[in-house]
């Protein structure tokens, strides 16, 4: 997909499984399981789909997946499945992008399945940035929240945060403005404080990277939210605001965690908002999503 002067490509950072009940909150299992079937431990398969933007002299990576630091217990708990080649770096290399080519990493938020791949552990146990020459962009409010929140302590891991803090490559953003042409940030506080969601707009159209505001296409209905959200009522309001714009302005919405639907458009229906014109990663790669 070419948009706003960027070549935009989805990048597979692997798969994981999370509890279906937690992923769908108050929605009963007989309803959500029609959309995503759980395994014997009630976990559902989820993608970790990152976004690569190449243009305007920059190579920008949006989110980084879990990464490669997880021990066997963590891998078994979340049923981690590595991306092609075994790592995000290998997946990028297959697209002709070396780790040193990445100029910017945009982290929508710092939960381990979004920010874990930004750091790497060497054979001697030392932690370092996976993309050493990249500026790493995080909302200032979210950075503070990640260090203060007890509600989400299990998702904000010190091994992911400390190397960023010590790197000198952390850029703390304030608000919706972005340092990149054609890109702005939609801010959301319902899932976690200070989540930043890239909105890429050009003459060709608009693409919205929904991260955990809309983790899958099944989460498009307003009341289908996650038990993980720190403020579920805020999530509903944020979804309504974003989905109304997406429907009215014809946005493509990219889903980070949907294992089947990479992106879709949003339609208003008598039952509410609905994901329509769904596309897979293969569709996107073939350029049929533009």
Residue 189 is assigned to a structural domain of this protein: yes
First to last CA, the chain: 6
pLDDT of 178: 86
* Residue among 118, 8, 104, 92 at smallest CA distance from 58: 104
Give dist(CA 290, CA 229) in Å, integer: 32
Residue 79 is assigned to a structural domain of this protein: yes
pLDDT of 124: 87
Helix (H) or strand (E) holding 7: strand 6-19
Q: Which two tokens stand for residue 262?
A: 């990479």
Print pLDDT tens along the chain (290 aa). Answer: 899 999 999 999 999 999 999 999 999 999 999 999 999 999 999 999 999 999 999 999 999 999 999 999 999 999 999 998 999 999 999 999 999 999 999 999 999 999 999 999 988 889 999 999 999 999 999 999 999 999 999 999 999 999 999 999 999 999 998 889 999 999 999 999 999 999 999 999 999 999 999 999 999 999 999 999 999 999 999 999 999 999 999 999 999 999 999 999 999 999 999 999 999 998 887 666 66
pLDDT of 95: 95
Do the Cβ atoms of 136 and 105 come closer than 8 Å? yes
Domain that holds residue 186: 2-285
Residue 76 is assigned to a structural domain of this protein: yes
Do the Cβ atoms of 16 and 39 come closer than 8 Å? no
Q: Which two tokens stand for residue 288?
A: 């049929």
Helix, strand or coil for residue 45? Answer: strand
pTM: 0.96
Total count of domains within the chain: 1
pLDDT of 102: 98
pLDDT of 77: 95
Residues β-bridged to residue 74: none
CATH code at position 40: 3.60.15.10
Residue 290 is assigned to a structural domain of this protein: no
* Residue among 244, 160, 259, 169 at smallest CA distance from 208: 244
Residue 36 is assigned to a structural domain of this protein: yes
DSSP character at residue 82: P
């Amino acid at each position: 997909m070419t948009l706003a002067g960027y070549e935009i490509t989805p990048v597979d950072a692997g798969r994981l499984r999370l509890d279906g009940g937690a992923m769908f909150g108050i929605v009963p299992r007989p309803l959500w399981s029609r959309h995503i079937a759980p395994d014997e431990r009630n976990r559902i398969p989820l993608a970790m789909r990152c976004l690569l933007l190449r243009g305007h002299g920059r190579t920008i990576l949006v989110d980084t997946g879990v990464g490669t630091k997880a021990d066997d217990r963590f891998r078994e708990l979340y049923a981690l499945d590595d991306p092609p080649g075994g790592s995000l770096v290998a997946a990028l290399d297959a697209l002709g992008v070396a780790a040193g080519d990445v100029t910017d990493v945009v982290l929508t938020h710092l939960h381990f399945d979004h920010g874990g791949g930004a750091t790497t552990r060497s054979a001697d146990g030392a932690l370092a940035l996976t993309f050493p020459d990249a500026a790493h962009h995080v909302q200032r409010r979210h950075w503070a929240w990640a260090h203060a929140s007890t509600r989400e302590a299990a998702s904000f891991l010190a091994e992911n945060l400390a190397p960023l803090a010590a790197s000198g490559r952390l850029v703390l953003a304030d608000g919706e403005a972005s340092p990149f042409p054609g890109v702005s940030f939609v801010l959301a506080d319902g899932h976690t404080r200070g989540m930043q969601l890239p909105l890429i707009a050009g003459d060709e159209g608009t693409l919205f990277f929904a991260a955990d505001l809309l983790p899958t296409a099944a989460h498009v209905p307003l009341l289908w939210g996650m038990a993980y959200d720190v403020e579920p009522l805020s999530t509903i309001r944020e979804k309504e605001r974003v989905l109304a714009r997406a429907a009215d302005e014809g946005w493509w919405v990219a889903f980070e965690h949907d294992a089947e639907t990479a992106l879709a458009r949003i339609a208003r229906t008598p039952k509410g908002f609905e994901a329509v014109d769904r596309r897979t990663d293969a569709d996107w790669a073939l350029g049929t999503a533009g």
